[in-house]
Amino acid sequence: MKKLNEIAFFVLLAFIFLSISIIPHIMDMPNLYLLDRKVVNFSDGWAWKGDGYEKKYSLPYHFDVENSEPLVIRNTIPDDLPDGSVFATRSVAHSVVVKIDGETIYEMGNDREKYLGRDLGTFWAFIKTEPEHKGKEIEISLFSYRTVSHGFASEVFIGSESALYAHLFMQNGLWNIFSPVIISLGLFIIFAYFVFGIYKEKNRAILYLGFFAFIMGNWFLGESQMLQLITKNTYYTVRITHLMTLLAPITACLFIREIVPMKKRFLDDFLVTLAIVNAVVTLGLEYFDILGLTDTIDMTMVLIVLISVYYLGILLMETLLYKNEKAFRELKLLSIVFVSGIVEIAVYYINGQLVTSHFLHIGVLVYVILMLISQFKDYMDRKRIREEREYYAKMAYTDILTGGYNRARYMEDMEKITEPGGVVIVQVDTDRLKYINDSFGHSAGDLAIIDTYQIVEANFAHVGNTYRIGGDEFAVIVKNTATTEEVDTIIEKVKKDVELKDKEREYTFSISLGFAEYEASLDEDIYATAVRADHKMYEDKRRLKNV
């Protein structure tokens, strides 16, 4: 199930972001892209059709409108309206129709064939005016299938396009940088995971931390109301927050599972599966025009709360009962997100699911930064331990004097030969080593050993491995890709190199060689081949007696 959940997450992630690119073109979705500092709040003096336009209301206001009826409000355009002015109001999952003097001049979200779900989503409606509109009646009709949005009218502003853009940006002020920072941080972490070779480890915690930051950054970017200034992609503008809400609990579960070794996991994989199923079902309901993402958001929020409570409980249990230090560290850091998330959800529902705050932004940014620092420290610790293990493992198989493989590695590699057919064993011995040690000193003897290894290794490296298996003894395991003719050629080259080296030394330097190819009719195993090679090497050494 663990592997299946991971595969499902990546498939779902790819599918969602692919749909963001494709759906606007397939469905010919309307363009909500905005480009152009005096802004006037035109939120007073609005009359409502529901009471016969008798009473004046100030926006924002939630009118008591029948579920099947649109909210219709009217006002009179000021006579001193500057030429080129634009009216702006925020749609909270509404369709918007604007009429001036009975003529429809703006319509958005009414054509359901051009978007998924029952509501287009949350966006800013910009209504351009003409000079002849001054002093005339403006009528705004709003309709939403979402209960909390139906009957709600946001504030209305008047200004030039550029002034309204600046106004929208300044509403969030410095909070606008939070989303890009979190997204950039997530992309950097993902980039570092692959570029710096962290992927070679079995632990994917850093990868999932990067995805978590990337997803949460996109979530917050959708809530910033700035997307119409950034992209023409309508689907991304109106759905990215809800889409990331579906992915966030999946990533969080996968990350926590990787980062904290636990004795009791209970529902880990089940919760990941549940989050994936929720995302698939929710997307299916919208794609098949049954329910929109805005209609099912409550179920997703319940799932997020359930996962949060579960991990708080399980981490607390691991900390108290099993003294799990990593669980305690994660508990402390996750508490930042949990607390900020609970406050965010509380504010969201207190405000009628119409307004979000910045508590979760801060919590996620602090968490990602602290967790990145923690993960970096863990990675460096794991790297140090791995390098130490590799060093000691290498030393266990390395001959100190020559730097090549030793007898232990030779025996291990011999054991690995399960199909010896075609394998050649070469045995090598440094001649007169005792004489060299006694007459010229052990440093000269060491040099003779090093010379032997380097010459043999340099010539046989492309066909096999060279080992020092004793004081003056060496062996070469030649792969079954080399023929005996090639081995003969290599040995002749070795002998010539030995002759050249002999001219450089103050003592007589020579070596003896012998080789044998595995033959099933002669050899019980590869070790018997090595014995035959050894005998041939000693036959070669007998030449010294004749010198």
Q: Round to whole Å and give the CA distance between 260 and 393.
A: 28
Q: Is the pLDDT of residue 173 over 90?
A: no
**Residue 173 is which amino acid?**
G
Are 209 and 375 within 8 A, CB to CB? yes
Q: Which of 86, 73, 184, 172 is nearest to 128 (CA)?
A: 86
Are 423 and 515 within 8 A, CB to CB? no
Task: Look up the CATH architecture of domain 407-546.
Answer: 2-Layer Sandwich (3.30)
Mean pLDDT in the chain?
88
Query: CATH assignment of 40-159?
Result: 2.60.120.260
Q: Which pLDDT does position 265 carry in this prediction?
A: 65
Q: Round to whole Å and give the CA distance between 74 and 362.
A: 40
DSSP 50: G
Least confident stretch, 172-176, 366-370, 424-428: 172-176
Segments of the chain assigned to CATH 3.30.70.270: 407-546
Q: Which pLDDT does position 263 carry in this prediction?
A: 62
Q: Are strands 56-57 and 103-108 parallel, antiparallel or unpaired?
A: unpaired
Best-predicted range by mean pLDDT (111-120, 144-153, 168-177, 429-438): 429-438
Q: Which pLDDT does position 171 carry in this prediction?
A: 80
Q: Round to whole Å and give the CA distance between 52 and 403.
A: 96
> Which residue do the tokens 């989303």 mark?
179
Count of helices and strands (H, E) across the chain = 14, 16
pLDDT band at 3 (very low <50, low <70, confident <90, very high): confident
Q: Round to whole Å and give the CA distance between 129 and 270.
A: 55
Q: Which pLDDT does position 153 carry in this prediction?
A: 93
Q: Is the pLDDT of residue 269 over 60?
A: yes
User: Where is 22: in which H helix or E strand?
Assistant: helix 2-26
Are 361 and 343 within 8 A, CB to CB? no
Which residues 6+ apart lie within 8 Å of 251 measured at CB? 9, 208, 211, 212, 215
Are 248 and 219 within 8 A, CB to CB? yes
Q: Round to whole Å and give the CA distance between 532 and 547.
A: 24
Q: Which pLDDT does position 345 carry in this prediction?
A: 76
Alpha helices in 27-138 (DSSP H): none
What's the full length of the chain, in residues?
A: 547
DSSP 398: B
pTM (two decimals): 0.68
| 245-254 mean pLDDT | 92
User: Where is 167: in which H helix or E strand?
Assistant: helix 161-172
- N-terminal to C-terminal alpha carbon distance within the chain: 74
Segments of the chain assigned to CATH 2.60.120.260: 40-159
Q: Round to whole Å and give the CA distance between 153 and 463.
A: 80
DSSP structure string for 180-243: HHHHHHHHHHHHHHHHTTGGGSS--HHHHHHHHHHHHHHHHHHHTT-GGGT---HHHHHHHHHH
Q: DSSP 3-state assignment of 173?
A: helix
Are 211 and 256 within 8 A, CB to CB? no
